[in-house]
Amino acid sequence: MSNHELSMTELPKGIELLHEPSLNKGTSFTAAERDALGLRGLLPPRIFSQAERAQHVMNNIRRKPNNLEKYLYLIGLQDRNEKLFYRVLVDNMAELSPIVYTPTVGLACQEYSRIFRRPRGLFISRHDRNRVKEILQNWLYRDVRVIVVTDGERILGLGDLGANGMGIPVGKLSLYTACAGIDPGTCLPIMIDVGTNNNEVLCDPSYIGLVEPRLRGDQYDALLDEFMAETGKMFPRAMIQFEDFGNVNAFRLLERYRNRYCMFNDDIQGTASMTLAGLHSALRMIGGKLTHQRLVVLGAGGAALGIGSLMVSAMVEEGLSVDEARSRCWFVDSRGLVVTSRTDLSEHKRRFAQDYPLHQDLLSVVEAVKPTAIIGASGQSSTFTPAVLTAMARINKRPIVFALSNPTSQSECTAEEAYRYTDKRAVFASGSQFPKVAMDGQTFVPGQANNSYIFPGVGLGILASEASRVTDEMFAAAAKALDEQVSEEDFALGRIYPSLSRIREVSVNIALAVAKIAFARGLTALSKPPDLPGLIKSKMYDPTYQEYV
């Protein structure tokens, strides 16, 4: 039984109740509740509704001088009054998502050791080998359904932040609850601290993690194997999301575990699904078939190659052969175009190598390949230069420009640059939200190609169906479901993703698509219910205050 379902006899009383964030209602406890629960005199006498307190919170947030202060205020609220935190977040998703997640969470991770106040989740270090089970047993709740785990090596586009990366699992799980109604009592953030190779972090006297070089090789694998095995035993109904692992491990661990556990890598599969959804919507907006596109992806790490893999699968589904589909996906890494003549390619890159002359910079690649879309997953800011954008506009009537790297400081170009250098013809989306762009009497609302559109709904679908695996087919279905939620009104604003204000509705539709696949492919021991949408909605956490008396 989760905390919000506790009966009167099970409820803590007095100060203990006020110190339990999942149960505390602060000044919204009624007079009857204050008498019955030993709260009389422990609270100021005026009683507020939850709506009044939510407005008070928003007033305070809007008075804060910067986004980091807003983040700290919200995290403090989450630590005190969980339902009020989620009520405010759900009702103000478009405004607050950039605060609790990208781009502000990137700054919060950089400052994590200095702003650390109260531990959330579990920290498992390299020195906990053969003790992972003991650590998992220390977690208070047993009905864990969603775990987000990172080792902190590639936090957004910021690189190796070590244990400071714990802000990412915490933030992601907040979005699972706000966007898809996953009960926060069933969510568990985990940091696997295997050291860091970031000298600036290592030299910070306030750093909370291991002051050691990053662990590699067999010892790293043994720790991860133990973690996955013990987690599977301790929390058998949990879905595990890998987040912000470095390129050296991301694909390898996904292949190692995907057919043995209910897990996925959001940077690889979630980013790919969100990008495919954006491309579907862009082509609905401007006209065109997916199988006719030529895609140039800047970057060849986990996110970029995940995009390529899902694009190939989608094109094959629409009639191309695998070789034909791969011939339409081009990649540019730090050494130039990924081509067959190169001898420095990893196996994952080699699958996408083109039999083509080597071009070493993005502009020459664009001029030679003449892509219909450029997709940035490089973590390198300002790489979609004015010359690149101008070339895209010359080649295409409506160039598709996705600058996906997070946070905004790492984005390949800004929204304003994309519109300006394409004569306002770009179909643009970015990983973190850019503000509206007013130009020559027109106002553009840039699309936010953020994974928060995908992973919460996928998680809800897995939870509702109790699926044993997370498959690529589910992410392709999630992309189609997301595309279907984009309206003509969105297109009129130049937006290829729905407003975040509708995210719960969007997540339900994605969950439905995912759950249907779980039942159709026999990935669950449950029988398909007659009312699957009703089942999904019944699983969603409601942050409205419960009446205890």
State the CB neighbour count (10 A cutoff) for residue 281: 25
Helix axes 247-257, 217-234, angle to 10 degrees: 40
Let me know how long the chain is. Answer: 549
Identify any residues that bridge with 329 across adjacent strands, giving them in sequence order: 295
Helix axes 167-180, 93-100, angle to 10 degrees: 160
- Contact present, 517 and 471 (Cβ < 8 Å): yes
Q: What is the 3-state secondary structure (H, E, C) of 248-292?
A: HHHHHHHHHHCCCCCEEEHHHHHHHHHHHHHHHHHHHHHCCCHHH
- Contact present, 369 and 296 (Cβ < 8 Å): yes
- Contact present, 82 and 539 (Cβ < 8 Å): no
d(CA 216, CA 501): 42
d(CA 88, CA 74): 9
d(CA 486, CA 468): 30
d(CA 299, CA 305): 8
Q: Which of 25, 83, 172, 539 is labelled catalytic? A: 172
- φ/ψ (deg, to 5) at 401: -130, 110
Q: Which of 101, 176, 497, 541 is labelled catalytic? A: 101
The whole-angstrom distance between residue 324's C-alpha and the CA centroid of its chain comes to 31
d(CA 342, CA 354): 10
User: Could you confirm whether 101 is annotated as catalytic?
Assistant: yes
Structure tokens at 74: 């919200």
Checking DSSP bridges between strand 373-376 and strand 336-337, what pairing results, if any? unpaired
Cβ-Cβ contacts under 8 Å for 152 (sequence gap 6 or more): 160, 161, 162, 163, 164, 165, 166, 191, 193, 196, 209, 244
- Contact present, 500 and 97 (Cβ < 8 Å): yes
Task: Give the residue among 472, 524, 459 at the shortest CA–CA distance from 254.
Answer: 472
In angstroms, the Cα distances linking 491 to 188, 403, 423, 445, 483 are: 37, 19, 18, 10, 12
Identify any residues that bridge with 481 across adjacent strands, giving them in sequence order: none
Catalytic residues: 101, 172
